[in-house]
Amino acid sequence: MFCRGIHDLKPYVIDDEYARLINFMYLETKEEVDEFAAWVKSLDNPKVQGLFIIFAFSSTCQVLNLVFLAWWDHKVNNSWILPSLIKCLSKMDPTDWDLTPPTTNVGESQHHWTNINTGIQLSLLEAILTQVAFNVTVLIT
pLDDT digits (tens, 9 = 90+) for 11-28: 878 899 889 988 999 999
Burial class (CB in 10 A: 0-12, 13-18, 19+), 86: buried
Please check the confidence at residue 112 and state whether its pLDDT lies above 80.
yes
Amino acid symbol at 104:
T
- Asked if residue 117 has pLDDT above 60, the reply is yes
Q: What is the pLDDT of residues 28-81, one digit of tens each?
A: 999 999 999 888 888 777 667 654 444 444 433 332 233 334 778 888 889 999
Residue 92 vs residues 2, 6, 81: alpha-carbon distances, Å: 32, 24, 14
Residue 141: predicted pLDDT = 79
What is the pTM assigned to this prediction? 0.62
